[in-house]
């Protein structure tokens, strides 16, 4: 990812917000995030930024208000960097998922995160360490996590350090090369055994 950063025009003078980033699909739980946001303490002093692209299919998004900022278009790499670096936290409220590339972005930018316990996130987030986990389809559980992560006593630095370590051990180019070398070596051993 490039090191440049550019604020999306929709976020002029807006920082310290709650972020959802990705394509807009029902299975990503955006509707639950909106309801949890309005039920939490977060809406009092933090905006909710929903950035990505797709068809709006969410009732809670039809309200005309200035607390929820919708960015429905292609997001450049420089804007992605700004979105993650200036967010108070990122939320992945998925109700189902097999895998997701956005998790590595949260780790890369060290953005405190909340995600649901769908399989991929449950397997790749260390609860209370690299992120907070809540139940899918559960507005109260998500609301509770939002209240925890925006609380002034929440240890952001600890989570960010843990995310950096997880990223280095799981996603860095050095780690990926090691994994490829292991796969290659194992394939060579199998090939030699069958020769």
Torsion-angle region of residue 17: left (phi > 0), alpha (psi -120 to 50) or beta?
Answer: beta
* Residues with Cβ within 8 Å of residue 83, at least 6 apart in sequence: 8, 11, 19, 21, 49, 51, 75
Cα 24 to chain center, whole Å? 14
* Cβ–Cβ under 8 Å, residues 50 and 68: yes
What contacts 144, CB < 8 A, 6 or more positions away? 134
pTM score, whole prediction: 0.87
Q: Convert the pLDDT of each residue in 132-174 to its tens digit.
A: 999 999 999 999 999 999 999 999 999 999 999 999 998 877 7
**Which stretches within 89-138 are classed as H helix?**
102-109, 119-124
Q: Could you tell me the domains of the chain?
A: 9-193 (3.40.50.2000)
Distance CA 21, CA 44 (A): 21
pLDDT digits (tens, 9 = 90+) for 53-83: 988 777 765 565 788 999 999 999 999 999 9
Report pLDDT digits (tens) over 1-27.
Answer: 556 899 999 998 899 999 999 999 889
């Amino acid at each position: 990812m490039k090191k440049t950063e550019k604020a999306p025009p929709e976020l002029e003078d807006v920082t310290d917000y709650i972020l959802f980033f990705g394509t807009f699909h029902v299975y990503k739980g955006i509707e639950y995030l909106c309801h949890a946001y309005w039920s939490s303490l977060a809406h009092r002093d933090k905006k909710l930024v929903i950035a990505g692209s797709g068809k709006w299919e969410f009732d809670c998004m039809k309200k005309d208000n200035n607390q929820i900022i919708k960015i429905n278009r292609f997001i450049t790499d420089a804007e992605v960097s700004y979105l993650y670096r200036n967010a108070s936290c990122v939320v992945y409220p998925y109700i189902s998922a097999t895998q997701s590339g956005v998790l590595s972005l949260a780790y890369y930018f060290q953005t405190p995160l909340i995600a649901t316990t769908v399989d991929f996130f449950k397997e790749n987030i260390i609860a209370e360490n690299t992120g907070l986990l809540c139940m899918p389809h559960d507005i109260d559980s998500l609301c509770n996590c939002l209240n925890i992560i925006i609380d002034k006593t929440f240890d952001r630095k600890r989570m960010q350090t843990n995310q950096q370590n997880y990223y280095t051990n799981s996603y860095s180019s050095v780690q990926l090369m090691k994994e490829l070398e292991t796969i290659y070596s194992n394939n060579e051993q199998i090939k030699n055994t069958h020769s």
